[in-house]
Chain A
Amino acid sequence: MSVDQATVRRVAKLARIKVKEENVERLADELNSILHWIEQLNEVNVDGVEPMTSVVTVKMKKRKDVVTDGNYPHDVVENAPAAEDDYFLVPKVIE
Protein backbone atom coordinates (compact mmCIF):
# COMPACT_ATOMS: atom_id res chain seq x y z
CA MET A 1 0.00 0.00 0.00
CA SER A 2 1.61 3.22 -1.11
CA VAL A 3 0.59 6.75 -0.24
CA ASP A 4 0.23 9.18 -3.14
CA GLN A 5 0.03 12.96 -2.95
CA ALA A 6 -3.77 13.00 -3.04
CA THR A 7 -3.80 10.67 -0.01
CA VAL A 8 -1.41 12.98 1.87
CA ARG A 9 -3.79 15.89 1.24
CA ARG A 10 -6.79 13.81 2.34
CA VAL A 11 -5.07 12.54 5.53
CA ALA A 12 -3.88 16.07 6.38
CA LYS A 13 -7.46 17.27 6.00
CA LEU A 14 -8.73 14.48 8.27
CA ALA A 15 -6.02 15.33 10.82
CA ARG A 16 -6.85 19.06 10.57
CA ILE A 17 -3.24 19.98 9.82
CA LYS A 18 -2.63 22.52 7.06
CA VAL A 19 0.08 21.19 4.79
CA LYS A 20 1.83 23.53 2.38
CA GLU A 21 1.70 22.36 -1.23
CA GLU A 22 5.52 22.33 -1.47
CA ASN A 23 5.71 19.86 1.46
CA VAL A 24 3.26 17.29 0.08
CA GLU A 25 5.85 15.34 -1.90
CA ARG A 26 8.30 15.14 1.02
CA LEU A 27 5.53 14.02 3.38
CA ALA A 28 4.43 11.32 0.94
CA ASP A 29 8.00 10.01 0.81
CA GLU A 30 8.34 10.03 4.61
CA LEU A 31 5.02 8.30 5.18
CA ASN A 32 5.82 5.71 2.53
CA SER A 33 9.18 4.93 4.08
CA ILE A 34 7.53 4.34 7.48
CA LEU A 35 4.62 2.35 5.99
CA HIS A 36 6.99 0.27 3.89
CA TRP A 37 8.93 -0.67 7.03
CA ILE A 38 5.68 -1.54 8.83
CA GLU A 39 4.65 -3.90 6.02
CA GLN A 40 6.90 -6.67 7.42
CA LEU A 41 3.96 -7.33 9.77
CA ASN A 42 2.26 -9.07 6.84
CA GLU A 43 4.69 -11.99 7.32
CA VAL A 44 3.00 -12.88 10.62
CA ASN A 45 0.24 -15.45 10.65
CA VAL A 46 -2.51 -13.91 12.80
CA ASP A 47 -5.25 -16.45 12.00
CA GLY A 48 -7.42 -17.05 15.02
CA VAL A 49 -5.54 -14.48 17.17
CA GLU A 50 -7.69 -12.10 19.19
CA PRO A 51 -6.67 -8.43 18.95
CA MET A 52 -5.46 -7.10 22.28
CA THR A 53 -7.98 -4.88 24.05
CA SER A 54 -6.34 -4.61 27.48
CA VAL A 55 -2.67 -5.13 28.24
CA VAL A 56 -3.21 -6.21 31.85
CA THR A 57 -5.87 -8.77 32.63
CA VAL A 58 -8.11 -6.92 35.05
CA LYS A 59 -11.80 -6.37 35.28
CA MET A 60 -12.72 -2.89 34.10
CA LYS A 61 -13.52 -0.74 37.10
CA LYS A 62 -16.94 0.82 37.23
CA ARG A 63 -18.40 3.51 39.40
CA LYS A 64 -21.89 4.85 40.07
CA ASP A 65 -23.06 7.24 37.38
CA VAL A 66 -23.19 10.28 39.63
CA VAL A 67 -21.58 13.72 39.59
CA THR A 68 -18.33 13.55 41.58
CA ASP A 69 -16.55 16.64 40.35
CA GLY A 70 -17.13 19.94 38.61
CA ASN A 71 -18.90 23.23 39.12
CA TYR A 72 -15.89 25.38 38.36
CA PRO A 73 -16.51 26.71 34.84
CA HIS A 74 -13.92 29.44 35.30
CA ASP A 75 -11.16 26.84 35.84
CA VAL A 76 -12.30 25.02 32.71
CA VAL A 77 -11.96 28.06 30.44
CA GLU A 78 -8.98 29.56 32.30
CA ASN A 79 -6.47 28.48 29.64
CA ALA A 80 -8.61 29.24 26.59
CA PRO A 81 -7.05 31.57 24.00
CA ALA A 82 -10.41 33.40 23.90
CA ALA A 83 -13.21 33.18 26.49
CA GLU A 84 -16.03 35.35 27.74
CA ASP A 85 -18.37 34.85 30.71
CA ASP A 86 -17.01 31.30 31.20
CA TYR A 87 -17.71 30.35 27.58
CA PHE A 88 -15.15 29.41 24.92
CA LEU A 89 -15.08 31.87 22.04
CA VAL A 90 -14.75 30.45 18.51
CA PRO A 91 -15.06 31.94 15.02
CA LYS A 92 -18.64 32.15 13.75
CA VAL A 93 -19.89 28.68 12.68
CA ILE A 94 -23.53 29.49 11.77
CA GLU A 95 -24.40 31.63 8.78
Chain B
Amino acid sequence: MNDLTSLTIATAREGLRKKEFSALELTEAYIAAIEKARILNAYIVETPDKARTMAKASDAKLANGEGGALEGIPLGIKDLYATKGIHTQACSHILDGFKPTYESTVTSNLWRDGAVMLGKLNMDEFAMGSSNETSYYGNVINPWRRKNSNASLVPGGSSGGSASAVAAHICAAATATDTGGSIRQPAAFTGTVGIKPTYGRCSRWGIVAFASSLDQAGPIARDVRDAAIMLRSMASVDPKDTTSVDLPVPDYEKAIGKSINGLRVGIPKEYRADGMSTEIEDLWNRGAQWLKEQGAEIIEISLPHTKYALPAYYIVAPAEASSNLARYDGVRYGLRVPGDDIVDMYENSRAAGFGPEVQRRIMIGTYVLSAGYYDAYYVRAQKIRTLIKRDFEQAWAKVDVVLTPATPSPAFAPGEISDPVQMYLNDIFTVTVNMAGLPGIAVPAGVSNDGLPLGLQLIGKAFDEETLFKTAAAIEQVAGGYQAPKWW
Protein backbone atom coordinates (compact mmCIF):
# COMPACT_ATOMS: atom_id res chain seq x y z
CA MET B 1 0.00 0.00 0.00
CA ASN B 2 1.50 3.38 -0.88
CA ASP B 3 0.21 6.44 0.95
CA LEU B 4 -2.48 5.49 3.43
CA THR B 5 -3.13 9.15 4.26
CA SER B 6 -4.53 9.66 0.73
CA LEU B 7 -7.56 7.48 1.53
CA THR B 8 -10.97 8.95 2.31
CA ILE B 9 -12.85 7.57 5.32
CA ALA B 10 -15.04 5.47 3.01
CA THR B 11 -12.05 3.87 1.23
CA ALA B 12 -10.02 3.42 4.44
CA ARG B 13 -13.04 1.73 6.02
CA GLU B 14 -13.08 -0.80 3.13
CA GLY B 15 -9.33 -1.42 3.39
CA LEU B 16 -9.57 -2.00 7.14
CA ARG B 17 -12.47 -4.43 6.78
CA LYS B 18 -10.65 -6.37 4.05
CA LYS B 19 -7.48 -6.36 6.23
CA GLU B 20 -5.41 -4.74 3.46
CA PHE B 21 -3.75 -2.74 6.27
CA SER B 22 -4.23 -2.40 10.00
CA ALA B 23 -5.64 0.53 11.98
CA LEU B 24 -2.18 0.88 13.57
CA GLU B 25 -0.53 1.17 10.13
CA LEU B 26 -3.08 3.79 9.12
CA THR B 27 -2.50 5.72 12.36
CA GLU B 28 1.30 5.52 12.01
CA ALA B 29 1.03 6.96 8.49
CA TYR B 30 -0.89 9.95 9.89
CA ILE B 31 1.48 10.43 12.84
CA ALA B 32 4.41 10.60 10.39
CA ALA B 33 2.50 13.01 8.09
CA ILE B 34 1.65 15.30 11.04
CA GLU B 35 5.34 15.54 12.02
CA LYS B 36 6.25 16.60 8.48
CA ALA B 37 3.45 19.19 8.31
CA ARG B 38 4.21 21.12 11.52
CA ILE B 39 4.88 24.25 9.49
CA LEU B 40 1.09 24.51 8.91
CA ASN B 41 0.57 24.87 12.70
CA ALA B 42 -2.73 23.00 12.36
CA TYR B 43 -2.20 20.85 15.46
CA ILE B 44 -1.48 22.55 18.76
CA VAL B 45 -1.26 19.24 20.63
CA GLU B 46 -0.33 15.89 19.09
CA THR B 47 -1.41 12.74 20.94
CA PRO B 48 0.50 9.95 19.15
CA ASP B 49 0.61 7.58 22.13
CA LYS B 50 -3.13 7.83 22.67
CA ALA B 51 -3.65 7.35 18.93
CA ARG B 52 -1.57 4.16 18.93
CA THR B 53 -3.44 2.75 21.94
CA MET B 54 -6.80 3.50 20.31
CA ALA B 55 -5.68 2.04 16.95
CA LYS B 56 -4.54 -1.20 18.63
CA ALA B 57 -7.94 -1.49 20.32
CA SER B 58 -9.58 -0.98 16.91
CA ASP B 59 -7.39 -3.70 15.37
CA ALA B 60 -8.49 -6.12 18.10
CA LYS B 61 -12.14 -5.38 17.30
CA LEU B 62 -11.63 -5.55 13.53
CA ALA B 63 -9.85 -8.92 13.93
CA ASN B 64 -13.06 -10.30 15.46
CA GLY B 65 -15.16 -8.84 12.65
CA GLU B 66 -16.49 -6.19 15.04
CA GLY B 67 -16.12 -2.43 15.15
CA GLY B 68 -18.17 0.75 14.77
CA ALA B 69 -18.85 3.05 11.84
CA LEU B 70 -15.50 4.84 12.29
CA GLU B 71 -13.43 1.92 13.58
CA GLY B 72 -9.72 2.74 13.23
CA ILE B 73 -10.29 6.09 11.44
CA PRO B 74 -7.82 8.78 12.66
CA LEU B 75 -9.40 12.17 13.37
CA GLY B 76 -8.32 15.64 14.50
CA ILE B 77 -10.37 17.40 17.19
CA LYS B 78 -10.93 21.16 17.35
CA ASP B 79 -9.56 22.59 20.62
CA LEU B 80 -13.10 23.75 21.53
CA TYR B 81 -14.14 20.17 22.38
CA ALA B 82 -13.49 18.93 25.93
CA THR B 83 -11.27 15.84 25.79
CA LYS B 84 -10.74 14.12 29.10
CA GLY B 85 -7.24 14.64 30.50
CA ILE B 86 -6.06 16.37 27.32
CA HIS B 87 -5.35 20.07 26.65
CA THR B 88 -8.66 21.90 25.98
CA GLN B 89 -8.21 25.66 25.84
CA ALA B 90 -10.31 27.06 22.98
CA CYS B 91 -6.88 28.35 21.87
CA SER B 92 -7.07 31.02 24.59
CA HIS B 93 -4.43 32.04 27.10
CA ILE B 94 -7.11 32.31 29.79
CA LEU B 95 -7.63 28.53 29.82
CA ASP B 96 -3.92 27.86 30.39
CA GLY B 97 -3.31 24.33 31.54
CA PHE B 98 -6.99 23.31 31.47
CA LYS B 99 -7.44 19.55 31.20
CA PRO B 100 -11.11 18.57 31.53
CA THR B 101 -12.14 15.74 33.83
CA TYR B 102 -14.91 14.87 31.34
CA GLU B 103 -15.40 14.21 27.62
CA SER B 104 -17.73 16.14 25.28
CA THR B 105 -20.77 14.23 24.00
CA VAL B 106 -19.74 14.58 20.35
CA THR B 107 -16.22 13.22 20.89
CA SER B 108 -17.63 10.46 23.14
CA ASN B 109 -19.86 9.46 20.20
CA LEU B 110 -16.83 9.35 17.87
CA TRP B 111 -14.78 7.18 20.25
CA ARG B 112 -17.82 4.92 20.80
CA ASP B 113 -17.83 4.36 17.01
CA GLY B 114 -14.13 3.44 17.02
CA ALA B 115 -12.44 6.65 15.83
CA VAL B 116 -8.80 7.33 16.77
CA MET B 117 -7.69 10.72 18.16
CA LEU B 118 -4.56 12.25 16.58
CA GLY B 119 -4.55 15.50 18.56
CA LYS B 120 -6.14 18.90 19.14
CA LEU B 121 -6.52 21.40 16.32
CA ASN B 122 -5.77 25.10 16.22
CA MET B 123 -8.64 27.63 15.95
CA ASP B 124 -9.46 31.29 16.49
CA GLU B 125 -9.59 32.13 20.20
CA PHE B 126 -13.01 31.07 21.55
CA ALA B 127 -14.05 30.55 17.89
CA MET B 128 -14.05 34.32 17.33
CA GLY B 129 -12.47 35.01 13.97
CA SER B 130 -12.56 34.27 10.27
CA SER B 131 -8.85 33.76 9.54
CA ASN B 132 -7.38 31.79 12.44
CA GLU B 133 -5.26 34.85 13.30
CA THR B 134 -6.71 35.31 16.81
CA SER B 135 -5.38 32.01 18.23
CA TYR B 136 -3.06 32.26 21.22
CA TYR B 137 -1.07 29.49 19.50
CA GLY B 138 -0.35 31.45 16.32
CA ASN B 139 -1.67 31.50 12.78
CA VAL B 140 -2.59 28.39 10.84
CA ILE B 141 -1.26 28.18 7.29
CA ASN B 142 -3.53 27.15 4.42
CA PRO B 143 -2.00 24.28 2.39
CA TRP B 144 -3.22 26.15 -0.71
CA ARG B 145 -1.16 28.93 -2.28
CA ARG B 146 -1.89 31.28 -5.14
CA LYS B 147 -0.61 30.22 -8.58
CA ASN B 148 3.11 30.98 -8.95
CA SER B 149 3.38 32.25 -5.37
CA ASN B 150 5.06 31.02 -2.19
CA ALA B 151 3.18 33.44 0.05
CA SER B 152 1.16 32.03 2.96
CA LEU B 153 -2.62 32.31 3.03
CA VAL B 154 -5.08 31.97 5.90
CA PRO B 155 -7.22 28.82 6.09
CA GLY B 156 -10.28 30.79 7.21
CA GLY B 157 -11.77 30.51 10.65
CA SER B 158 -12.63 29.82 13.25
CA SER B 159 -12.10 26.12 12.42
CA GLY B 160 -8.88 26.94 10.55
CA GLY B 161 -6.83 24.11 12.04
CA SER B 162 -9.57 21.62 11.17
CA ALA B 163 -9.80 22.79 7.55
CA SER B 164 -6.04 23.00 7.04
CA ALA B 165 -5.48 19.52 8.55
CA VAL B 166 -8.18 17.91 6.39
CA ALA B 167 -6.89 19.63 3.23
CA ALA B 168 -3.28 18.62 4.00
CA HIS B 169 -4.28 14.99 4.68
CA ILE B 170 -2.96 15.05 8.25
CA CYS B 171 -6.24 13.61 9.55
CA ALA B 172 -8.95 11.63 7.77
CA ALA B 173 -11.53 14.21 8.91
CA ALA B 174 -11.94 16.70 11.75
CA THR B 175 -14.52 18.02 14.16
CA ALA B 176 -15.34 21.71 13.88
CA THR B 177 -17.95 24.17 15.16
CA ASP B 178 -19.96 26.91 13.47
CA THR B 179 -21.51 29.97 15.14
CA GLY B 180 -21.61 32.30 12.11
CA GLY B 181 -19.74 30.41 9.40
CA SER B 182 -16.81 28.81 11.21
CA ILE B 183 -17.20 25.43 9.48
CA ARG B 184 -18.33 26.53 6.01
CA GLN B 185 -15.96 29.48 5.40
CA PRO B 186 -12.73 27.55 6.21
CA ALA B 187 -14.02 24.55 4.23
CA ALA B 188 -14.53 26.85 1.22
CA PHE B 189 -11.02 28.34 1.67
CA THR B 190 -9.36 24.90 1.66
CA GLY B 191 -11.32 22.90 -0.94
CA THR B 192 -12.92 20.69 1.71
CA VAL B 193 -16.53 19.87 2.62
CA GLY B 194 -18.04 21.28 5.82
CA ILE B 195 -21.55 20.97 7.17
CA LYS B 196 -23.21 22.92 9.96
CA PRO B 197 -26.23 20.82 10.87
CA THR B 198 -29.55 22.14 12.16
CA TYR B 199 -29.36 23.76 15.60
CA GLY B 200 -30.08 20.94 18.06
CA ARG B 201 -28.80 18.09 15.85
CA CYS B 202 -25.47 17.69 17.72
CA SER B 203 -25.13 18.02 21.47
CA ARG B 204 -23.29 21.12 22.65
CA TRP B 205 -22.41 19.46 25.95
CA GLY B 206 -18.66 19.67 26.60
CA ILE B 207 -18.03 22.17 23.79
CA VAL B 208 -16.67 25.48 25.10
CA ALA B 209 -19.59 27.91 24.69
CA PHE B 210 -19.34 31.03 22.51
CA ALA B 211 -22.94 32.03 21.61
CA SER B 212 -25.25 29.32 22.88
CA SER B 213 -28.25 30.03 20.62
CA LEU B 214 -26.04 29.87 17.50
CA ASP B 215 -23.23 27.34 18.23
CA GLN B 216 -23.40 23.96 16.47
CA ALA B 217 -20.92 21.14 16.02
CA GLY B 218 -20.22 19.61 12.62
CA PRO B 219 -17.49 17.93 10.59
CA ILE B 220 -14.98 19.08 7.98
CA ALA B 221 -14.13 16.23 5.59
CA ARG B 222 -12.52 15.55 2.22
CA ASP B 223 -15.71 14.78 0.36
CA VAL B 224 -19.47 14.77 0.81
CA ARG B 225 -19.67 11.06 1.66
CA ASP B 226 -17.07 11.40 4.45
CA ALA B 227 -18.96 14.40 5.87
CA ALA B 228 -22.13 12.25 5.92
CA ILE B 229 -20.31 9.40 7.70
CA MET B 230 -18.90 11.83 10.29
CA LEU B 231 -22.18 13.63 10.99
CA ARG B 232 -24.03 10.38 11.57
CA SER B 233 -21.62 9.55 14.40
CA MET B 234 -21.42 13.08 15.82
CA ALA B 235 -25.19 13.68 15.99
CA SER B 236 -27.22 12.33 18.88
CA VAL B 237 -30.02 13.10 21.29
CA ASP B 238 -28.41 14.09 24.57
CA PRO B 239 -30.21 14.53 27.89
CA LYS B 240 -27.27 16.75 28.99
CA ASP B 241 -28.16 19.38 26.35
CA THR B 242 -31.82 20.39 26.58
CA THR B 243 -31.58 22.02 23.13
CA SER B 244 -30.58 18.72 21.51
CA VAL B 245 -33.65 17.70 19.55
CA ASP B 246 -35.40 14.39 20.05
CA LEU B 247 -35.27 13.03 16.49
CA PRO B 248 -33.61 9.83 15.26
CA VAL B 249 -30.30 10.30 13.37
CA PRO B 250 -30.71 9.13 9.75
CA ASP B 251 -28.08 7.20 7.78
CA TYR B 252 -26.97 10.29 5.84
CA GLU B 253 -24.73 8.27 3.51
CA LYS B 254 -27.81 6.75 1.89
CA ALA B 255 -28.74 10.19 0.50
CA ILE B 256 -25.59 10.31 -1.63
CA GLY B 257 -26.11 9.37 -5.27
CA LYS B 258 -29.89 9.86 -5.11
CA SER B 259 -31.41 11.67 -8.08
CA ILE B 260 -32.10 15.39 -7.81
CA ASN B 261 -34.62 15.25 -10.64
CA GLY B 262 -37.47 17.63 -9.83
CA LEU B 263 -35.64 19.21 -6.87
CA ARG B 264 -36.60 22.88 -6.48
CA VAL B 265 -33.47 24.99 -5.94
CA GLY B 266 -33.86 28.58 -4.73
CA ILE B 267 -31.52 31.39 -5.82
CA PRO B 268 -31.98 34.29 -3.38
CA LYS B 269 -31.70 37.56 -5.30
CA GLU B 270 -30.55 39.49 -2.20
CA TYR B 271 -27.31 37.47 -2.17
CA ARG B 272 -26.24 39.24 -5.35
CA ALA B 273 -24.70 41.81 -3.05
CA ASP B 274 -23.18 44.95 -4.46
CA GLY B 275 -19.62 44.36 -5.51
CA MET B 276 -19.85 40.59 -5.85
CA SER B 277 -16.78 39.54 -7.80
CA THR B 278 -17.21 38.05 -11.27
CA GLU B 279 -15.49 34.82 -10.28
CA ILE B 280 -17.92 34.27 -7.39
CA GLU B 281 -20.91 35.14 -9.58
CA ASP B 282 -19.69 32.77 -12.32
CA LEU B 283 -19.20 29.99 -9.78
CA TRP B 284 -22.73 30.48 -8.50
CA ASN B 285 -24.28 30.48 -12.01
CA ARG B 286 -22.27 27.40 -12.97
CA GLY B 287 -23.43 25.54 -9.84
CA ALA B 288 -27.07 26.34 -10.65
CA GLN B 289 -26.50 25.15 -14.23
CA TRP B 290 -25.01 21.83 -13.02
CA LEU B 291 -28.07 21.18 -10.85
CA LYS B 292 -30.40 22.13 -13.71
CA GLU B 293 -28.64 19.70 -16.05
CA GLN B 294 -29.36 16.95 -13.49
CA GLY B 295 -33.08 17.71 -13.52
CA ALA B 296 -33.43 20.33 -10.78
CA GLU B 297 -35.66 23.34 -11.23
CA ILE B 298 -33.97 26.70 -10.56
CA ILE B 299 -36.27 29.28 -8.97
CA GLU B 300 -35.43 32.87 -8.01
CA ILE B 301 -36.56 33.62 -4.48
CA SER B 302 -36.43 36.59 -2.12
CA LEU B 303 -34.99 36.61 1.41
CA PRO B 304 -35.59 40.32 2.08
CA HIS B 305 -33.87 40.58 5.48
CA THR B 306 -30.58 39.01 4.35
CA LYS B 307 -28.53 42.21 4.67
CA TYR B 308 -29.53 42.64 8.32
CA ALA B 309 -28.41 39.18 9.40
CA LEU B 310 -24.76 40.07 9.92
CA PRO B 311 -25.24 43.29 11.95
CA ALA B 312 -27.94 41.55 14.04
CA TYR B 313 -25.52 38.67 14.59
CA TYR B 314 -22.96 41.15 15.95
CA ILE B 315 -25.43 42.03 18.69
CA VAL B 316 -26.70 38.53 19.54
CA ALA B 317 -23.35 36.70 19.41
CA PRO B 318 -21.29 39.18 21.49
CA ALA B 319 -24.17 39.51 24.00
CA GLU B 320 -24.25 35.75 24.55
CA ALA B 321 -20.44 35.60 24.55
CA SER B 322 -20.13 38.30 27.22
CA SER B 323 -22.40 36.20 29.41
CA ASN B 324 -20.78 32.82 28.61
CA LEU B 325 -17.24 34.14 29.08
CA ALA B 326 -18.03 35.63 32.49
CA ARG B 327 -17.01 32.25 33.94
CA TYR B 328 -13.32 32.91 33.20
CA ASP B 329 -12.51 34.69 36.43
CA GLY B 330 -9.17 33.25 37.55
CA VAL B 331 -10.90 31.17 40.24
CA ARG B 332 -12.17 27.93 38.74
CA TYR B 333 -9.70 27.17 35.97
CA GLY B 334 -6.92 28.53 33.85
CA LEU B 335 -4.95 31.70 34.23
CA ARG B 336 -4.88 33.75 37.44
CA VAL B 337 -3.07 37.07 37.59
CA PRO B 338 -2.89 38.36 41.20
CA GLY B 339 -4.32 41.76 42.16
CA ASP B 340 -4.88 44.03 45.16
CA ASP B 341 -8.25 42.42 45.90
CA ILE B 342 -10.57 39.90 44.28
CA VAL B 343 -12.04 42.33 41.71
CA ASP B 344 -8.53 43.48 40.78
CA MET B 345 -7.58 39.81 40.36
CA TYR B 346 -10.60 39.24 38.04
CA GLU B 347 -9.75 42.29 35.97
CA ASN B 348 -6.04 41.47 35.70
CA SER B 349 -6.70 37.83 34.79
CA ARG B 350 -9.23 38.71 32.09
CA ALA B 351 -7.06 41.51 30.64
CA ALA B 352 -4.06 39.17 30.36
CA GLY B 353 -6.01 36.07 29.36
CA PHE B 354 -8.29 37.28 26.56
CA GLY B 355 -6.88 38.46 23.23
CA PRO B 356 -7.95 41.76 21.58
CA GLU B 357 -10.80 40.34 19.43
CA VAL B 358 -12.33 38.46 22.38
CA GLN B 359 -12.07 41.58 24.57
CA ARG B 360 -13.71 43.64 21.84
CA ARG B 361 -16.65 41.24 21.59
CA ILE B 362 -17.10 40.98 25.36
CA MET B 363 -17.17 44.78 25.52
CA ILE B 364 -19.73 45.05 22.68
CA GLY B 365 -21.84 42.36 24.34
CA THR B 366 -21.65 44.02 27.74
CA TYR B 367 -22.58 47.37 26.21
CA VAL B 368 -25.63 46.13 24.25
CA LEU B 369 -26.93 44.30 27.32
CA SER B 370 -26.31 47.17 29.73
CA ALA B 371 -29.12 49.15 31.34
CA GLY B 372 -30.87 51.47 28.89
CA TYR B 373 -29.58 49.77 25.74
CA TYR B 374 -31.05 46.27 26.05
CA ASP B 375 -34.27 47.06 24.11
CA ALA B 376 -32.60 49.22 21.48
CA TYR B 377 -30.01 46.58 20.61
CA TYR B 378 -30.63 43.07 21.91
CA VAL B 379 -34.44 42.90 21.70
CA ARG B 380 -34.39 44.58 18.30
CA ALA B 381 -31.80 42.07 17.02
CA GLN B 382 -33.92 39.15 18.25
CA LYS B 383 -36.94 40.60 16.43
CA ILE B 384 -34.90 40.83 13.25
CA ARG B 385 -33.92 37.23 13.80
CA THR B 386 -37.62 36.32 13.79
CA LEU B 387 -37.93 38.12 10.43
CA ILE B 388 -34.92 36.28 8.99
CA LYS B 389 -36.39 32.95 10.01
CA ARG B 390 -39.77 33.98 8.53
CA ASP B 391 -38.05 34.78 5.19
CA PHE B 392 -36.85 31.18 5.00
CA GLU B 393 -40.22 29.76 6.08
CA GLN B 394 -41.85 31.59 3.19
CA ALA B 395 -39.15 30.37 0.79
CA TRP B 396 -39.77 26.73 1.75
CA ALA B 397 -43.23 26.99 0.20
CA LYS B 398 -41.52 27.40 -3.18
CA VAL B 399 -38.19 25.54 -2.94
CA ASP B 400 -36.57 22.50 -1.27
CA VAL B 401 -33.05 23.87 -0.94
CA VAL B 402 -31.26 27.21 -1.41
CA LEU B 403 -27.99 27.65 -3.36
CA THR B 404 -25.58 30.52 -2.61
CA PRO B 405 -21.83 31.16 -2.71
CA ALA B 406 -20.08 30.10 0.53
CA THR B 407 -17.77 33.12 0.80
CA PRO B 408 -17.38 36.50 -0.93
CA SER B 409 -13.74 35.75 -1.87
CA PRO B 410 -11.09 33.02 -1.91
CA ALA B 411 -8.51 32.74 0.92
CA PHE B 412 -6.56 35.91 1.69
CA ALA B 413 -3.15 36.58 3.22
CA PRO B 414 -2.45 36.94 6.95
CA GLY B 415 -2.62 40.62 7.94
CA GLU B 416 -4.51 41.53 4.75
CA ILE B 417 -7.72 42.34 6.68
CA SER B 418 -7.16 44.35 9.86
CA ASP B 419 -10.46 46.22 10.22
CA PRO B 420 -12.85 44.18 12.43
CA VAL B 421 -15.98 44.97 10.39
CA GLN B 422 -14.21 44.02 7.11
CA MET B 423 -13.26 40.71 8.72
CA TYR B 424 -16.86 40.14 9.88
CA LEU B 425 -18.05 40.50 6.25
CA ASN B 426 -16.44 37.12 5.49
CA ASP B 427 -19.52 35.53 7.04
CA ILE B 428 -22.03 37.52 4.98
CA PHE B 429 -23.33 34.44 3.11
CA THR B 430 -23.16 31.97 6.00
CA VAL B 431 -24.46 33.85 9.05
CA THR B 432 -28.17 33.91 8.06
CA VAL B 433 -28.17 30.12 8.41
CA ASN B 434 -27.10 30.31 12.08
CA MET B 435 -29.57 33.10 12.79
CA ALA B 436 -32.40 30.89 11.44
CA GLY B 437 -31.03 27.66 13.01
CA LEU B 438 -30.94 25.90 9.62
CA PRO B 439 -28.44 23.40 8.21
CA GLY B 440 -25.86 24.56 5.65
CA ILE B 441 -23.13 22.74 3.74
CA ALA B 442 -20.12 24.15 1.87
CA VAL B 443 -18.89 22.09 -1.08
CA PRO B 444 -15.90 22.92 -3.31
CA ALA B 445 -17.08 23.86 -6.80
CA GLY B 446 -14.26 25.57 -8.64
CA VAL B 447 -11.05 27.58 -8.45
CA SER B 448 -10.42 31.31 -8.50
CA ASN B 449 -8.37 33.14 -11.14
CA ASP B 450 -5.46 32.73 -8.70
CA GLY B 451 -5.94 28.95 -8.56
CA LEU B 452 -7.54 28.88 -5.09
CA PRO B 453 -10.55 26.73 -4.19
CA LEU B 454 -14.00 28.31 -4.07
CA GLY B 455 -17.09 26.83 -2.43
CA LEU B 456 -20.83 26.87 -2.89
CA GLN B 457 -23.27 26.74 0.00
CA LEU B 458 -26.53 24.81 0.16
CA ILE B 459 -29.10 25.75 2.82
CA GLY B 460 -31.80 23.27 3.83
CA LYS B 461 -34.97 23.03 5.88
CA ALA B 462 -34.56 22.27 9.58
CA PHE B 463 -33.42 18.65 10.04
CA ASP B 464 -33.29 18.03 6.28
CA GLU B 465 -29.54 17.41 6.13
CA GLU B 466 -30.25 14.51 3.74
CA THR B 467 -31.29 16.91 0.95
CA LEU B 468 -28.05 18.85 1.54
CA PHE B 469 -25.92 15.71 1.21
CA LYS B 470 -27.83 14.60 -1.90
CA THR B 471 -27.51 17.99 -3.60
CA ALA B 472 -23.90 18.60 -2.52
CA ALA B 473 -22.99 15.18 -3.94
CA ALA B 474 -24.62 16.20 -7.24
CA ILE B 475 -22.37 19.29 -7.35
CA GLU B 476 -19.30 17.31 -6.31
CA GLN B 477 -19.93 14.74 -9.03
CA VAL B 478 -19.49 17.44 -11.70
CA ALA B 479 -16.97 19.69 -9.91
CA GLY B 480 -14.66 16.87 -8.82
CA GLY B 481 -12.25 17.03 -5.90
CA TYR B 482 -9.62 19.66 -5.10
CA GLN B 483 -6.22 18.74 -3.70
CA ALA B 484 -3.59 21.28 -2.62
CA PRO B 485 -0.18 20.61 -4.20
CA LYS B 486 2.15 19.40 -1.43
CA TRP B 487 5.00 21.87 -0.67
CA TRP B 488 5.62 21.20 3.03
Residues of A at under 8 Å CB distance from B? 1, 3, 7-8, 11-12, 14-19, 27, 30-31, 33-35, 37-38, 40-41, 43-44, 46, 49-56, 58, 60-61, 63, 72, 75, 78-82, 88, 90-93
Contact = CB atoms under 8 A, between A and B. Distances in A.
A1 B326 CA distance: 25
Interface string B340-377: 01111111101100100001101110110010010011
17 contacts: A11-B366, A16-B326, A17-B363, A18-B344, A33-B419, A46-B380, A46-B384, A50-B386, A51-B379, A51-B382, A55-B389, A58-B246, A75-B102, A88-B331, A91-B338, A92-B341, A93-B341
B383 A50 contact: yes
Q: Interface on chain B toward A: helix, strand, loop, or mixed SS?
A: helix
User: Which interface residue of A43, A50, A79 has the most chain B CB atoms within 10 A?
Assistant: A79
B387 A46 contact: yes
Nearest to A77: B332
A15 B363 contact: yes
Contacts of B362: 15, 17
A41 B373 contact: no
A17 B342 CA distance: 13
The size bracket of the interface on B is 35 or more
Contact of A18 (B245, B333, B347, B384): B347
B414 interface: no
A33 B421 contact: yes
B249 to A, nearest CB: 16
Q: Interface on chain A toward B: helix, strand, loop, or mixed SS?
A: loop
A33 B420 contact: yes
Q: Across the A-B interface, give the 5 residue pairs with the lowest CB-CB distance, nearest first.
A: A55-B437, A51-B382, A81-B336, A18-B347, A79-B333
A68 B307 CA distance: 45
B360 A81 contact: no
A1 B373 contact: yes
A49 B383 contact: yes
Given A40-B311, A52-B382, A79-B98, A17 B359 contact: yes
B144 to A, nearest CB: 30
A41 B384 contact: yes
Contacts of A38: 311, 314-315, 377
Contacts of A33: 419-421
Contacts of B379: 51
Contacts of B346: 16
B363 A79 contact: no
Given A17-B363, A56-B200, A56-B462, 9 more contacts: A17-B351, A31-B363, A35-B367, A41-B308, A46-B380, A58-B200, A60-B242, A81-B331, A81-B333
